[in-house]
Amino acid sequence: MQRRGRSAKEYARYGYRLLRGAFFRRKVDHGGRMLRVCGPVRVSKTRSARLIIGSRVILHRHTGFFLDSAEAVIEIGDHTFLNRRSEIMCKRHVKIGSHCAISWDVTITDTDYHVLEGSETTLPVVIGDHVWIGSKATILKGVTIGRGAVVAAGAVVSKDVPARTLVAGVPARVVRENVSWSL
Angle at 74 (CA atoms; ends 176, 132), nearest 5 degrees: 20
List the chain pLDDT tens, one digit each, 183 residues: 445 667 888 878 778 788 777 778 777 888 888 888 888 999 999 889 999 999 999 999 999 999 999 999 999 999 999 999 999 999 999 999 999 999 999 999 999 888 778 778 899 999 999 999 999 999 999 999 999 999 999 999 999 999 999 999 999 999 999 999 887
Closest by CA to 111, choosing from 132, 88, 129, 131, is 88
Distances (CA, A) of 44 to 49, 53, 118, 122: 10, 15, 29, 18
18 phi-psi bin (left φ>0, alpha ψ -120 to 50, beta other): alpha
Q: Which domains does the chain have, with CATH numbers?
A: 8-177 (2.160.10.10)
Verify whether residue 114 is a known catalytic residue: yes
Closest by CA to 147, choosing from 77, 82, 86, is 77
pTM score, two decimals? 0.89
